[in-house]
Structure 1
Amino acid sequence: MAGSVADSDAVVKLDGGHLNNSLGSPVQADVYFPRLIVPFCGNIKGGMRPGKKVLVMGIVHLNPESFAISLTCGVSEDPPADVAIELRAVFSDRQLLRNSCISGQRGEEQSTIPYFPFIPDQPFRVEILCEHQRFRVFVDGHQLFDFYHRIETLSAIDTIKINGDLQITKLG
């Protein structure tokens, strides 16, 4: 019995002190465990390819104006990185706009959807499935639309950017 108490104390000391101290400052810890703070920018390991899916789960703010989820080719600001797909939810018009931006030129914007899936102060789940010719976009398990690729090298699409009136709860 005494041995198990000593073992418990060792675990408590390791969890309570040593382990936390080994992470260093909170800034250093963020490198290893990044917080899902908006605006968010993260790497898609290995880039996109047919069969790969990007998952964004979150909660819409209480009084939202808009939010955007973009898959881009890197993070460059000057010149701006190519945008393979940008999904922009606009609450005043109840629209989910889609577009791309290649070599600084925006493509033709698409807006047709069967219904507007986002509700203020409610959770959502967006899945962007990459196929050979298109992205298939699902919201809360329902396919909402297809967006045909405008960037040919899918593996170059290696960054996700999220901004606007939402809180991110999970990325995958």
Structure 2
Amino acid sequence: MAWSVADSDAAVKLDDGHLNNSLGSPVQADVYSPRLIVPFCGHIKGGMKPGKKVLVMDTVDLNPESSAISLTCGDSEDPPANVATELKAVFTDRQLLRNSGISGERGEEQSAIPYFPFISDQPFRVEILCEHPRFTVFVDGHQLFYFYHCIQTLSAMTP
């Protein structure tokens, strides 16, 4: 599985050891924590599987427009890679849009959230925890929503 971040000075962290997620359950991840050139594309070592999570840490710009995080099955453009999840924060509308896609066909976009967690000029931490058959998304340690991905088997979500 590949992932990308499209925003300002994002720092992304994946950790190889066992960590605790926001609910206290053990998880597994790989660690990469240097400042990244954005947009950033990388690979998840061993692919995504239940118990792994992706952490994205950054600071919201003073006058933000949007920011996006995508988890894909590869980085092909033609044919387009399958998208397990794409999260897009739209600051002007205070929405966090979610979608996925298989073979270039996009699913139905979801936008309902209990609150918009991002504040101008403030740091944030997004955690995407892989469970089967969904991702649980946390922002600053608070569970925000579940997103049921359209990838049929997690084994397909490898680099």
1:85 equivalent in alignment to 2:85:
yes
Deviation (angstroms), 1:119: 1.1
Kindly report structure 1 stretches of 4+ aligned residues shifted beyond 4 Å.
none
Alignment correspondent of 1:146: 146
* Percent of pairs with identical residues: 81
Distance 1:100 1:112, change over 3 A: same
What residue ranges of structure 2 are gaps of 5+ in the alignment? Answer: 1-32
1:46–1:155 CA contact under 8 A, matched in 2: no
1:102 equivalent in alignment to 2:102:
yes
Q: In structure 1, give the amino acid aligned to 2:86.
A: E
TM-score by length of 1: 0.70
Q: In structure 2, give the amino acid aligned to 1:110.
A: Q
Number of residue pairs the alignment of both structures matches: 127
Q: Distance in 2 between matches of 1:71 and 1:158?
A: 11
Task: Give runs of aligned pairs for residues 8-157 of structure 1, distance below 5 A.
Answer: 35-157=35-157
1:71–1:158 CA contact under 8 A, matched in 2: no
Q: Distance in 2 between matches of 1:151 and 1:41?
A: 20
Larger radius of gyration: 1
What residue ranges of structure 1 are gaps of 5+ in the alignment? Answer: 1-32, 160-172
The higher-RCO structure (CA 8 Å, 6+ apart) is 1
The root-mean-square deviation of aligned C-alpha atoms, in Å, is 1.6
Deviation (angstroms), 1:158: 4.2
SS of the residue 2:75 aligns to: coil
Q: Distance in 2 between matches of 1:141 and 1:78?
A: 37
